[in-house]
């Protein structure tokens, strides 16, 4: 009974420890889920930023093309004006002045175009660097998400294993409690029978002691008579035969019984031994008594299997 109580306390401690592990795993899973959601949100923001940068780049290219077209148009107009002024030959000074102004405008436009192209290249380089950084961040996020999924799966597997161990421990605790209750009941019954037997056997003990004294005296007389007869037999030369001895062999017969509840069967007559399997309530099995608390079962494929008598 002390071992059963110790085992019950130990099982409860293990159950509490496993429940703490399950709670810790659930907290880790929640943290992984929050980090995964944050990574997905960062990924979406990065994609939007890249798309906006690409749109600005396209707009800048369109503006550059428009300015280049304007420059070509102005050059065409300038050439037309120069041809007209040359052919007419009028107001050459004004033509030259206008030509200088136009050349200055052309130079300014070219400078603006060069600045725009330089700015465009700079922005393209910046966008390329940002895109590379975003792509790297996306790859890191994907890797983190994949690692998180692996950890979540591992935690779920560990949680299932812990729950299975808890179920097995609960079964062992229930069996230990049942065996403890059975043992306590048997102990109480045997103690009660022992007390009654002691009380009822006191007169019998007194009678037996008196009979033993009488038998002792009779035995002494019988031995003396036997010695006398043996001496007489020796004198007559008779042979004494040892005879054939008979041995009594008590065998336990095999019987078939029905289970009163679900029952674990084990490798030996101990709740600490390895559990081989579980028999369902109502099953009929062939067995014989192993000791006062256990039956030996005859199960196909098992060389030795034992079940508590509390199961029947």
* Residue range(s) defining the domain that contains residue 292: 255-311
Q: Is residue 248 part of a domain?
A: no
pLDDT at 269 over 70: yes
Q: Is residue 273 part of a domain?
A: yes
Q: Is residue 166 part of a domain?
A: yes
Kindly report, residue by residue over 75-101, the tens digit of the pLDDT: 777 677 667 656 665 655 665 677 677
State residue 75's pLDDT score: 72
Q: How confident is the model at residue 243 (pLDDT cuts 50, 70, 90)?
A: very low
- Kindly state the tokens that stand for 288: 């014989």
**Cβ atoms within 10 Å of 215's Cβ, excluding its own:** 12
State residue 92's pLDDT score: 58
State residue 306's pLDDT score: 93
For residue 110, the domain's CATH number is 1.10.287.2610
CA–centroid distance for 23 within its chain: 13
Asked if 180 and 1 count as a contact pair (C-beta separation under 8 A), the reply is yes
The Cα 35–Cα 154 span in angstroms is 17
Helix (H) or strand (E) holding 125: helix 92-236
pLDDT at 33 over 60: yes
Domain end call among 160, 185, 210: 185
Kindly report, residue by residue over 115-143, the tens digit of the pLDDT: 777 877 887 788 788 888 878 888 887 88
Starting at the edge strand found earlier in the chain, the sheet holding 275-279 runs 255-258, 284-289, 294-297, 305-308, 263-266, 275-279
Domain end call among 170, 185, 200: 185
Q: Is residue 215 part of a domain?
A: no
Do 167 and 274 fall within a single domain? no
Domain count, the chain: 2
Q: Is residue 303 part of a domain?
A: yes
Q: Among residues of the chain, what percentage have pLDDT more than 70? A: 80
Q: How confident is the model at residue 246 (pLDDT cuts 50, 70, 90)?
A: very low
Helix (H) or strand (E) holding 17: helix 2-88
Kindly report, residue by residue over 144-179, the tens digit of the pLDDT: 888 878 888 888 888 888 888 888 877 877 887 777
pLDDT at 245 over 60: no
Kindly report, residue by residue over 51-77, the tens digit of the pLDDT: 777 787 777 778 777 777 777 777 777
């Amino acid at each position: 009974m002390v071992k059963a109580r110790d085992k019950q306390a130990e099982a409860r401690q293990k159950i509490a420890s496993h429940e703490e592990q399950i709670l810790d795993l659930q907290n880790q899973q929640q943290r992984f889920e929050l980090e995964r959601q944050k990574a997905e949100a960062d990924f979406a923001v990065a994609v939007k930023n890249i798309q906006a940068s690409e749109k600005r780049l396209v707009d800048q290219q369109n503006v550059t093309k428009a300015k280049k077209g304007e420059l070509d148009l102005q050059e065409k107009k300038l050439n037309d004006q120069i041809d007209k002024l040359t052919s007419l030959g009028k107001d050459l000074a004004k033509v030259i002045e206008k030509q200088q102004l136009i050349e200055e405008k052309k130079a300014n436009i070219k400078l603006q175009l060069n600045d725009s192209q330089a700015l465009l290249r700079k922005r393209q380089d910046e966008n390329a660097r940002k895109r590379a950084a975003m792509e790297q961040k996306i790859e890191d996020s994907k890797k983190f998400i994949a690692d998180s999924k692996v950890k979540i799966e591992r935690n779920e597997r560990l949680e299932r294993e812990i729950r299975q161990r808890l179920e097995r421990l609960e079964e062992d605790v229930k069996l230990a409690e049942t065996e403890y209750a059975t043992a306590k009941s048997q102990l109480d019954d045997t103690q009660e029978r022992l007390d009654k037997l002691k009380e009822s056997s006191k007169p019998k003990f007194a009678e037996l002691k008196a009979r033993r004294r009488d038998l002792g005296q009779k035995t002494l007389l019988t031995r003396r008579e036997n010695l006398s007869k043996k001496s007489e037999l020796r004198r007559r030369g008779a042979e004494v035969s040892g005879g054939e001895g008979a041995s009594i062999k008590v065998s336990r017969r095999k019987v078939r019984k029905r289970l009163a509840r679900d029952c674990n069967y084990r490798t030996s007559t101990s709740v600490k031994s390895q559990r081989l399997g579980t028999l369902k309530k109502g099953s009929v099995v062939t067995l014989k008594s192993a000791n006062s608390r256990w039956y030996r079962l005859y199960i196909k494929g098992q060389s030795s299997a034992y079940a508590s008598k509390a199961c029947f």
